[in-house]
Amino acid sequence: MAGGRQRAKKLSKSCILLIVISGMERFAFKGVASNLVTYLTDVVKMSNSSAAKAVNSWCGFTSMLPLLVAPLADSYWDRYPTILVSSFLYVVGLVALTSTSLAWARSPTSKSTRSYSFLFWSLYLISIGQGGYNPSLQAFGADQLDDDHDQDQELPCSNKEECKSTNDQKSLFFQWWYFGVCSGSLMGVTFMSYIQDTFGWVLGFAIPMMAMVLSIALFSCGSRMYMYKRDGAFYNHKPFECIAQAFKATKSMFMTRGITHLSYKSEKVELELQEKPLCREEFDSIEGLEDQKPRNGVHIMLENAKVVLRLLPIWTLLLMFAVIFQQPATFFTKQGMTMKRNIGSSFKIPPATLQSAITLSIILLMPLYDKILIPIIRLITCDEKGISVMKRMGIGMFLSIIAMVIAAIVETKRLEISRKIGNFESPSGTVPLSIFWLLPQYILLGVSDIFTVVGMQEFFYNEVPVRMRTMGFALYTSVFGVGSFLSALSISLVEIFTSSKGHSWFSDNMNEACLDKFYWLLALLGALSLLLYVVLCKCYKSRTELESENCK
């Protein structure tokens, strides 16, 4: 028992290496994405609205793409070769983007259709590469955990202490994974924005490209220490043989013209396997049965679809959290532009800089979660588990609602002061209210992120079979992709409705806008979503619970 608990407290070298690599990838991506709107307006000479729409569409597409790539990665490819091939496309996109900045630096007046097309092709090539890279890398990292005795084999644990040890180790992995991601994001947002504004865009895009190349080199160097898992079992092989097998599997998929016909007896057994997970005492009697009959892509896709449909209600109710999380980069920043930003006599805080408060709060508080918060929760609840994944996500959703309530109150106060001082008609008038009044809403969103986002990663990883682990992480990232599109849609609908009444909530004059009402609307919708989530959690049965029931 003590050994299991101690093992859960530390991660393997391969896990640590992959966490570092994930942080480097986030540095590369945020180094491009965080300041891309400035590049499109200042260098490419796009209008503000066009650039904002382009960035939002690209980010939404990037977050949604794993949903399309993950089923292929789970069904026909292995994770290791998927990571290598995707990272190659990723780097090619970064090289192309760097070349566009070099071309525009040499010819600033060039605005040909071919130049625009090449720019956006390079961006969407990055999206395609990331679509396979991110979910596969995180699933591959979780595969490094020594959990061959638990639900990774679709079998319940024979030893409760071993199960607890493995679950604790998973939670620790996902916490530190997100810590690495946030650290890389913070460096990308702060360091690369300064490089791009000071030294130019060629170097500003070249550094993320080199960081991604270095991450691929580190990933390849760790090949000998990785554990490779397929269908719940660890196996050893040469990595480049795995790549060859992946290409062969893909070729076979497209060359197959029909579905292999199985005997009635085999079909009956297969259906039974799909409906009822194997108990440990049953497993030995039919071990190797699947190896005696071929499995085709249609069967795999149908099985995967059943799993996704079971998770769809939870996925849907998490969307409002993602919508709320789109506000810091848009309206929170617009609020800050009208507030007092001076530090000393000359320096003014850039409003977008406050976004780093979210990442900083995550980085500073994440290590305290396991060491301080969970022990306190155990004392309060008298539950050795501390807090379940479902409760963790719910707490994060609740905190995001509180953040929107605070944002609405601060915005109401800002508008009141604006009216009192008489600059209501001035679109550029500054309100004598410190920008630091916005910090609580940023910090609360960061804390909510620790609960909900890390919980989402663990939830979607645990609730899908081993063959769908990449798809599980794709479901997590797609929440924010769909949330990005829903945020844009909600703004459009509210603007249409309020404009028809004579006064838009999103006026260009921030002193005439009604962002406080929009924040209250988001808080209300978030509260409704949380209420439905709580009701659904009462009825929801985890995969482990279903397996235990079927084994009785």
256-286 core/surface letters (b: 16 or more CB in 10 A; e: else): eeeeeebeeeeeebbeeeeeebbeeeeeeee
Yes or no: say if 464 and 471 are a contact pair by the CB < 8 Å rule: yes
Residue with tokens 């071919």: 114
Q: How far is CA 282 from CA 197, 274, 285, 551, in A?
A: 64, 14, 6, 9
Q: How far apart are CA 147 and CA 163, in angstroms?
A: 8
Fill in the amino acid letter for 175.
Q
Yes or no: say if 371 and 184 are a contact pair by the CB < 8 Å rule: no
Residue 418 is predicted with a pLDDT of 80
Identify the burial level of 243 via C-beta atoms within 10 angstroms of its C-beta, where 0-12 means exposed, 13-18 middle and 19 or more buried.
middle
- What is the DSSP secondary structure assignment for residue 228, as one 8-state letter? E
Task: Copy the structure tokens of residue 27.
Answer: 């540095």
Residue 275 is predicted with a pLDDT of 39
- What is the DSSP secondary structure assignment for residue 429, as one 8-state letter? P
pTM of the model: 0.67
DSSP reduced 3-state for 58: helix
Yes or no: say if 472 and 458 are a contact pair by the CB < 8 Å rule: no
Distance of alpha carbon 203 from the chain centroid: 27
pLDDT, tens digit only, all 552 positions of the chain: 344 444 445 778 888 899 999 999 999 998 888 778 778 877 887 765 567 667 777 888 888 888 777 777 666 777 888 899 999 999 999 999 999 888 887 776 666 666 778 888 899 899 999 888 888 888 888 778 755 444 444 444 445 555 555 566 777 787 788 788 888 888 887 788 778 877 888 898 999 999 999 999 999 988 888 877 654 444 444 444 444 554 454 445 445 434 444 343 444 434 433 434 444 334 333 334 344 444 555 666 677 677 778 888 999 999 999 888 878 767 777 777 778 877 777 777 777 677 778 888 877 877 777 777 777 877 777 766 677 888 889 999 999 999 999 999 998 888 888 878 766 555 556 778 888 888 899 889 988 988 888 788 888 878 887 777 777 777 888 888 888 888 878 878 888 888 777 677 877 677 777 888 889 999 999 999 999 999 998 888 777 777 666 665
Q: Which of 230, 289, 293, 222 is nearest to 77 (CA)?
A: 230
- Contact partners, residue 52, CB within 8 Å, separation at least 6: 37
Residue 398 is predicted with a pLDDT of 94
State pLDDT tens for residues 294-340.
455 566 667 767 777 888 899 999 999 988 887 876 777 777 777 88
Q: What angle do CA 39, 42, 44 make, to 5 degrees?
A: 70
DSSP reduced 3-state for 188: helix
Q: How far is CA 20 from CA 16, 24, 216, 261, 433, in A?
A: 6, 6, 11, 46, 40
Q: How far apart are CA 437 and CA 86, in angstroms?
A: 42
Q: How far is CA 311 from CA 222, 300, 322, 456, in A?
A: 34, 17, 17, 12
Q: Is 212 left (phi over 0), alpha (psi -120 to 50) or beta?
A: alpha
Residue 6 is predicted with a pLDDT of 42
Residue 208 is predicted with a pLDDT of 93
340's enclosing H/E stretch is strand 339-340
Could you give the domains of the chain?
Answer: 12-146+164-225 (1.20.1250.20), 301-551 (1.20.1250.20)
Q: How far apart are CA 369 and CA 364, in angstroms?
A: 10
The residues that bridge with 229 in the sheet, in sequence order, are: 234
- Number of H helices and E strands in the chain, helices first, is 23, 6
Residue 424 is predicted with a pLDDT of 56
Distance of alpha carbon 212 from the chain centroid: 18
Q: How far apart are CA 552 and CA 546, in angstroms?
A: 10
Sign of the CA dihedral 538, 522, 53, 34?
negative
Backbone angles phi, psi at 544, to 5 degrees: -65, -40
Fill in the amino acid letter for 448.
S
Q: How far is CA 269 from CA 274, 289, 290, in A?
A: 9, 9, 10
State pLDDT tens for residues 77-106.
778 888 999 999 999 999 999 998 888 877
Yes or no: say if 83 and 219 are a contact pair by the CB < 8 Å rule: yes
What torsion, rounded to 10 degrees, do the Cα atoms 164, 170, 176, 178 define?
-130
Q: Report the relative pairing of strands 347-348 and 342-343 from DSSP bridges.
A: antiparallel
Identify the burial level of 512 via C-beta atoms within 10 angstroms of its C-beta, where 0-12 means exposed, 13-18 middle and 19 or more buried.
middle
